[in-house]
């Protein structure tokens, strides 16, 4: 399941998988973004949510990130970008699924499966396996995608679908 964003003013589209959406919001928060909360009158199914909406960013109900909030997220991500490592910086923690499974069973360590933006394929094991990955390591190698997202957010508010 992904987080599909549609810009309000022109319908431009952007997508994050859920795992990376949460990570990129956390990154923005760590670099000074103060969430204003999303707005929602009617969800994507037409239900009136004006009285019970809590401003959540983690759901994809059709809520709107305001233009001001989008700019603030973009500003924070721009500040964070120099600290997001290149993928090569964390390849020592990456292994194949089968190799990590065997190694983690022997070492009795947790294994975290992470799929990159839009890379999961249920028919193939193209998942990368990481152990003890922090936020920066998780986002390693996504600098270009984050730059695209910053530009996208600079274009105005968007709906999360």
CA 82 – CA 90 distance, rounded (Å): 16
Q: Could you give the number of structural domains in the chain?
A: 2
| Claim to verify: residue 55 and residue 67 sit in the same structural domain | yes
Q: What is the pTM of this model?
A: 0.75
Asked if 15 and 42 sit in the same domain, the reply is yes
Q: State whether 132 and 149 are in the same domain.
A: no
Beta-carbon contacts of residue 133 (< 8 Å; ≥ 6 apart): 90, 93, 112, 114
Residue 82 in 3-state DSSP?
helix
| Domain identity same for 10 and 34 | yes
Residue range of the domain that includes 48:
2-84+142-160
pLDDT in tens, 98-127: 444 433 333 444 344 443 433 333 333 334
Residue 108 and residue 63 share a domain? no
**Segment 124-137, tens digit of pLDDT:** 333 444 446 788 88
> Does pLDDT of 152 surpass 70?
yes
- How deeply is 71 buried, as exposed, middle or buried, from its count of CB atoms within 10 A (0-12, 13-18, 19+)? middle
Structure tokens at 80: 């964070």
């Amino acid at each position: 399941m992904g987080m599909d964003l549609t810009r309000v003013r022109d319908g431009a589209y952007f997508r994050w998988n859920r795992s990376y959406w949460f990570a990129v919001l956390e990154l923005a928060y760590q670099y000074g973004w103060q969430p204003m909360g999303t707005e929602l009158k009617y969800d994507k199914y037409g239900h009136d949510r004006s009285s019970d909406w809590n401003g959540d960013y983690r759901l994809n109900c059709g809520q709107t990130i305001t233009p001001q909030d989008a700019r603030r997220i973009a500003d924070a991500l721009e500040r964070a970008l120099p600290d997001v490592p290149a993928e090569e910086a964390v390849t020592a923690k990456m292994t194949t699924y089968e190799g990590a499974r065997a190694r983690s069973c022997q070492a009795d360590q947790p294994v975290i499966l992470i799929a990159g933006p839009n890379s999961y394929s249920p028919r193939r094991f193209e998942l990368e396996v990481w152990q003890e990955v922090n936020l920066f390591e998780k986002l390693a190698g996504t600098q270009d995608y984050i730059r695209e997202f910053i530009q996208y957010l600079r274009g105005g508010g968007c709906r999360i679908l």
